[in-house]
Amino acid sequence: MMKKELGLFLLLAVISAITGAINPAFLSFVNLLNMANLIGLFGVFALGEGLVIITGGIDLSLGSMFALLGVVFIDLLTTYQVPWPFALVLVLLGGLALGGIQGFLITRLKMQPFIVTLCGLLIYRGAARYYTSDSTRGFGYGDEASTLSNIASGNVAGIPNTFIFLIILAVILGVLLHRSVYGRWLYAVGKNEEAARYSGIRTNLVIATAYVISGGLAGVSTVMFVFYTNSVSPSSFGNFYELYAIAAAVLGGCSLRGGEGSILGIVLGTALLQVLQNLVNILGIPNSLNFAVMGTVILIGVLADQQLQARRRRKAALAGLARTAPRSKETTMLQSASPRGAAALPTSAGDQA
């Protein structure tokens, strides 16, 4: 498993090094901190998306959720003068509830995740625009939530709080996904829901929980983005952000077929996406090519990963054949001595041939 993350990390390092060599401004402290902030902002909900993708599902509603929860959040603070801790809790609950509804529709009513969350995308966006009559909501001159604002957009020793929060969250979710019983169930359900059910796992609950977590993290992200932009324009706030999350997860090793991916991979995927965006600016590539660069890198990355996995499967199949013929016992032992040795790592591809 770690090979994939290592490969991704090397790719990130190589791209950063090249960009830094061409334009040293890329590696300047200010630029690095700016990227760290963006990685923190985009990483939080990408992690939630990743969990959903590991179940074999998808969540397309995140960007619209930000808009809806965002306008509600600002309204609670400004119009209704709700103390910020309450507003924060309400927004988080709102995210959890929306995730819960989607999870319910997907598992209990057996609707397809793509459809449920696509409708979520449309409905939440529409609701946000209707609620605000399509007008931008922002903070007035008062300091309705200066404490929270300071937490959300502040820094510790220069390191943005968003980034610190992402690291803490990644550790927590890392333990949840890679060490806990729930994490194991999530992978099992993603890979083979039927076998998981035959093993007594409550597959519906496991899957629905992933959507609830994703919704909850969308609530957290909403608050972070609101204080990043200080205002919410309901028709554009968070547009396409779900696609950033999906891209980060896929780049980080999640398969849309489910059952694959890691927290570290998703964080690295988010970082790579932000680095790509940043290098477009830094290297003076026309900004309009931004999406095209991102798309190309994802396409090549996933293609390379798939080819390497296919190689690995072929090797496994060969090892299986060797097992049936007793004479080639040696080969079997060699093959299986490092069962993951042939895993996806671009650098090792050459000498494995």
Partner 1 sequence: MAETLLELSGISKTYPGVRALDDVNLRVCRGEVLGLIGENGAGKSTLMRVLAGVIAPSAGVIRIGGNDHARMTVNEATLAGIAFVHQELNLFENLDVAANVFIGREKLAGGPLKLVDNAQMHARVTPLLERLGADFAPNTLVDNLSIAERQMVEIAKALSIDARVIIMDEPTSSLTISETERLLEVIADLKAHGISVIYISHRLGEIMSCADRVVVLRDGRTVGELARNELSHAAMIRLMIGRDLKALYTPPARSPEPGGCDIAGVVTTAFPDRQIDLSVRRGEILGLAGLVGAGRTSLARAVFGVDPLLGGEIRIDNTPVGVASPRDAIRQGIYLVPEDRKKSGLVLELPIRENVTLASLLDHARMWLVNGGSERKIAKEQARRLSIKAPSIDIEAVTLSGGNQQKVVLGKWLSMQPRVMFFDEPTRGIDVGAKSEIYALMRSLADQGVAIVMISSDMEEVIGVSDRVAVMHEGSVSGVLERDQFSEYNVLRLAVGQALETLETAAP
Q: In the structure encoding, which two tokens stand for residue 153, read together?
A: 């957009």
For residues 212 and 204, give the distance between their C-alpha atoms in angstroms, rounded to a whole number. Answer: 12
Spatial separation of the C-alpha atoms in residues 273 and 53, rounded to whole Å: 18
Helix 29-54 and helix 263-282: axis angle, to 10°? Answer: 140
Nearer CB in complex with partner 1: 120/216: 216
Report in angstroms how near the CB of residue 183 gets to partner 1 at its nearest: 8
The residue among 181 and 353 lying less far from partner 1, judged by its C-beta, is: 181
Q: Rounded to the nearest whole angstrom, what is the least distance from the CB of residue 184 to partner 1 in the complex?
A: 6
In eight-state DSSP terms, residue 262 is: -
Nearest CB to partner 1, comparing residues 243 and 316: 316
In whole angstroms, what is the distance from residue 225 CA to residue 152 CA?
9
In the complex, minimum distance from the CB of residue 4 to partner 1, in angstroms, rounded to a whole number: 14
What is the token pair recorded at 311? 């190689």
Q: How near is the Cβ of 112 to partner 1 at its closest, in Å? A: 17
- For the record, the structure tokens of 147 come out as 């404490």
Question: Would you tell me how many other CB atoms lie within 10 Å of the CB of residue 183?
Answer: 19
**Which residues does 190 contact at the CB level (< 8 Å), separation at least 6?**
54, 55, 56, 258, 259, 260
Smallest distance from the beta carbon of 260 to partner 1, in angstroms? 8
Residue closer to partner 1 by CB (options 201, 248) is 201
Helix (H) or strand (E) holding 160: strand 159-160
Nearest CB to partner 1, comparing residues 177 and 271: 177
Question: How far is it, in rounded angstroms, from Cα 19 to Cα 14?
Answer: 8
Is the CB of residue 73 less than 8 Å from the CB of residue 132? no
Residue whose tokens read 């496991």: 206
Q: Which of 217, 133, 223 is nearest to 173 (CA)?
A: 217
Q: Which is nearer to partner 1, 13 or 195 (CB)?
A: 195
Q: How far is the CB of 50 from partner 1 (least distance, A)?
A: 18
Q: For the CB of residue 261, give the shortest distance to partner 1 in the complex, in Å.
A: 13
Which residue(s) pair with 30 in the sheet? none
Rounded to a whole number of angstroms, the minimum distance from the CB of residue 327 to partner 1 is 15
Nearer to partner 1, 22 or 317 (CB): 317
For partner 1, the closer of residues 274 and 332 by Cβ is 332
Q: What are phi and psi of 97, to 5 degrees?
A: -65, -45
Three-state DSSP at 138 gives: strand
d(CA 166, CA 217): 11
* Footprint on this chain of partner 1 (rule: CB under 8 A): 175, 179-182, 184-185, 187-188, 191-192, 194-202, 259, 316, 319-320, 323-324, 332-333, 336-337, 339
Burial class (CB in 10 A: 0-12, 13-18, 19+), 316: middle
The Cα–Cα gap between 232 and 182 comes to 36
Name which of 149 and 203 has its Cβ closer to partner 1: 203
Give me the least distance between CB of 152 and partner 1, in Å please.
30
d(CA 20, CA 136): 38
Q: Which is nearer to partner 1, 28 or 112 (CB)?
A: 112
Closest approach of partner 1 to the CB of residue 196, in Å: 7
